[in-house]
Amino acid sequence: MRKIVTFAVAVTAMASMMVGSAVSAADGAALFKAKTCWSCHGKDAKTPLMPFYPSLAGQNADYMYNQMVDIKSGARSNGQTAAMKGVMGLVNEAEMRTLADWLATLN
């Protein structure tokens, strides 16, 4: 009986993680559109408007999150961050994490 209960708990935990991932993916896709990321980085996140804008699809989630945080705070300030600075004012840290996690799943 104890094995069955342990198995049921494990299956439930795995199912909730999978549902959580699906929600995050949907939220990431919605944020990508709502926060206008697509207008520079491409609707597919890998066909940027300008060749010197980065392709975001498949990048490391932690790297992208840290870049967004640094751009928003001003810690990263170079030629490309001026345009991003205004956009990052519209995105909070939880949304940054959701965006980064979603973008990392794209191929």
37-82: per-residue pLDDT in tens? 999 999 999 999 999 999 999 999 999 999 999 999 999 988 778 8
Q: How confident is the model at residue 3 (pLDDT cuts 50, 70, 90)?
A: low
Alpha helices in the chain (DSSP H): 2-34, 38-41, 61-73, 81-88, 93-105
DSSP category for residue 52: T
Residue span of the structural domain in which 99 resides = 26-105
CATH code for the domain in which residue 55 is found: 1.10.760.10
Is the confidence at residue 24, as pLDDT, over 80?
no
> Is 13 domain-assigned?
no
How far apart are alpha carbons 19 and 26 in whole angstroms? 11
Please state the rounded mean pLDDT for residues 90-106.
96
> Is 21 domain-assigned?
no
When divided into structural domains, the chain yields a total of 1
Question: Are the C-beta atoms of 29 and 76 separated by less than 8 Å?
Answer: no
